[in-house]
Amino acid sequence: MTTEDTKVRVGSRVDRPWGYYKLVLHEKDFSVKILYINPGEETSYQRHSKRNELVTLLDGTVVVEQGGRTYFKDVQNRASSCRVMAGEWHKFGAPLNQKGPTVLLEIAYGELDPDDFERKYDKYDRERKRGPGFVTSAEIPHEKP
């Protein structure tokens, strides 16, 4: 969620370079979105310090990069959900050869600070924003700068 998301009304469509999302529900400590990722596109490689996410694949195939590994899920998999914990780097993408968008249900829970994200990589060259909950990588002994 970015700062502009605090102005989004439930039911609205929000365009992104990778596709769009629809905000289904927004409460103080959780939100529900449906993400539509176009073929060949991906979200930024990012993390949050104050919230967790449960992401469930609704349609298509998703390429997940999480915790240093990359894997695919499709709607045929019995385990088509993944949990992203606060502080964990992650991104989601859609295969280029897919006919329609990858559709994901995202449930975010915890403290929903609109500036709580940090991008490590973004193929659309959006800014690497850091929310107030993050420390520099030099302050985290187990993380490489």
Sign of dihedral through CA atoms 16, 116, 34, 7?
A: negative
Most confident range (mean pLDDT) of 65-69, 82-86, 127-131 is: 82-86
Q: Residues 56-80: pLDDT tens digits?
A: 999 999 999 998 899 888 877 766 8
Q: How confident is the model at residue 44 (pLDDT cuts 50, 70, 90)?
A: very high
Q: How confident is the model at residue 11 (pLDDT cuts 50, 70, 90)?
A: confident
- Report the pLDDT value the prediction gives residue 120, as an integer from 0 to 100: 86
Q: Residues 93-128: pLDDT tens digits?
A: 999 999 999 999 999 999 988 788 888 888 888 776
For the chain, percent of residues with pLDDT exceeding 70:
81
**Contacts of 83 by beta carbon, 8 Å cutoff, 6+ apart:** 52, 53, 54, 55
Q: How confident is the model at residue 84 (pLDDT cuts 50, 70, 90)?
A: very high
- Count other C-beta atoms under 10 Å from residue 124's C-beta: 11
Residue identified by tokens 């964990």 is 88
Residue 136's Cβ-side half-sphere holds a number of Cα atoms within 13 Å equal to 2
- Report the pLDDT value the prediction gives residue 119, as an integer from 0 to 100: 87
The CA distance from 12 to 10, in Å, is 6
> Residue 14: beta bridge partners?
21
When the pLDDT of each residue in the chain is averaged and rounded to a whole number, the result is: 83
Using CA atoms, how far residue 113 sits from 35, 48, 144, in Å, is 19, 9, 26
> Residue 32: beta bridge partners?
25, 107
